[in-house]
Amino acid sequence: MPAKDLREKGTSLGVAETEIEGMPAWAEVSLEAISANVATIRGLLAPGTRLMAVVKDDGYGCGAVEVARAALEAGADMLGVTHLEEGLELRRAGIAAPILLFRPLLAPEVKTAVDHGLTVTVASLHDLEVLGAALCGGAGAPKVHLKIETGLGRLGLRPGPELAAAATWLREHPEVEVEGVYSHLATAAWGAKGFARRQFARFVGALEQLQVAGFTGLVRHLCNSAATVRFPEMHLDMVRVGSALYGPLAGLSRTREGEPLGLQPAWQARCRVLEVSDVPAGTTVGYGRDYRVRRPTRLAVLPVGYAEGFGVGPDLRPRGWFDFLLVVAKLFLIALGRPVGPAKVWAGGRPVRIAGRVGMQLTVVDVGPDAAVRPGTVVSLGMRHTIAGPRLARVYVSRGAVVGVPAAGGENLPGAGPEVR
């Protein structure tokens, strides 16, 4: 079911009401959808191509441990996270699969990473100096993946003299195992394919340089989620799948062959109405009195706000005139109270207006004069899982059964799986 239908029709992901009756707000995470999405992406890959499940930022807000387990059971070969602590969290949860740390390490972190079997990224000559200092300090030798700068302009060894110097250092330190090499695409999800193809060509050139330097048999990976769909010729030995684990990709609903992609939404936030009030025309709502009721209506107070991530979205920064016009149109509709921005609410399967400003922890919505909404009514929230705050309980569902529900104090109910944070 498309993400839009999931929200507007108020369809549950399978959570039993008795399991969540004490929660004012929560997010349902379908582990079954995540498993299905892994299978969908694996269906795009040639036999033998590996799949790295990216679970950085607490599994894109859905819960790193739970998502990692579901992805590995569904056929993922490796995990990817950004920070050392994210990798350690997975190890503490008993996950033994290979884990790549995308962020280069500081010197004091190297020994900890090695001791826990985490694979390290080398993205500069400075990173090699850090490894050298750690080796001299008694740290074990890490397994590493080389990061190549091909056009994103962020991290990476540049092909040519810098990469040659890195290869020389690594030959002089054979105890450091170079397992893989990768880069990251800047425009895989957008528009024309020319720049992505130029990045691919630069990456291939770097691979040839490494091969000449004696580094062969490396695990080569370049594609993120969008590139996995759009550029099958760039899959190489492994793809890194993040966004596609958690649901449909913006602007990518079909494969390059025109077949429906079929990614399933794994996330839906909900909350219960706290209070309702029937008010006359002319009533104003919220800070600044920004919202004025035009006719008699019913207002409902919700127990969520920007502290939970509701109403928070990315910076509206246009990339051209067309994007600029879209931004202006969205701001105009938001000013009219239409559910267009990051703050959206559906009651009884229909969108309702945000009345005034989204508060820190409370929000008011205008549900209309004839609404059956009352205290305790469950409404659906449009909320990005990458922005949702940690206090919003994650309820895990698989095959129609609740498999993880936080109890009072943040601990799971017996038998409900790992701690939900």
Query: Element (H or E) spanning 64, and its range?
Result: helix 64-73
Q: Are 400 and 13 in contact (CB under 8 A)?
A: no
**Residue 193 bears catalytic tag:** no
Task: Please identify which of the residues 111, 287, 306, 344 carries the catalytic annotation.
Answer: 287
Alpha-carbon gap, residue 62 to 297, rounded angstroms: 36
Q: Is 154 helix (H, G, I), strand (E, B) or coil?
A: coil
Element of type H or E holding 285: strand 284-285
| φ and ψ at residue 317, rounded to 5 degrees | -115, 105
246 counts as catalytic? no
Distance between alpha carbon 153 and the CA centroid of its chain, in Å?
21
What are the φ/ψ torsions at residue 232 (nearest 5 degrees)? -60, -30
Length of the chain: 421
What are the residues whose beta carbons fall under 8 Å from the beta carbon of 273, sequence distance 6 or more?
300, 301, 302, 373, 374, 375, 376, 377, 378, 379
As a whole number of Å, the end-to-end CA separation of the chain is: 27
Please say whether the beta carbons of 396 and 403 come within 8 A.
yes
Burial of 35 (0-12, 13-18, 19+ CB in 10 A): buried
Contact indicator for 362, 301 with CB cutoff of 8 Å: yes
Burial label for 289, CB within 10 Å (0-12, 13-18, 19+), is exposed
Given phi > 0 = left and psi -120 to 50 = alpha, else beta, which region is 87?
alpha
CB distance 357 to 243 below 8 Å: no
* Active-site choice (4, 9, 56, 344): 56
Left if phi > 0, otherwise alpha if psi is -120 to 50, otherwise beta: which for 267?
beta
SS3 33: helix
Judge contact between 239 and 208, C-beta under 8 A.
no
How deeply is 263 buried, as exposed, middle or buried, from its count of CB atoms within 10 A (0-12, 13-18, 19+)?
buried
- So which residues are the catalytic ones? 56, 287
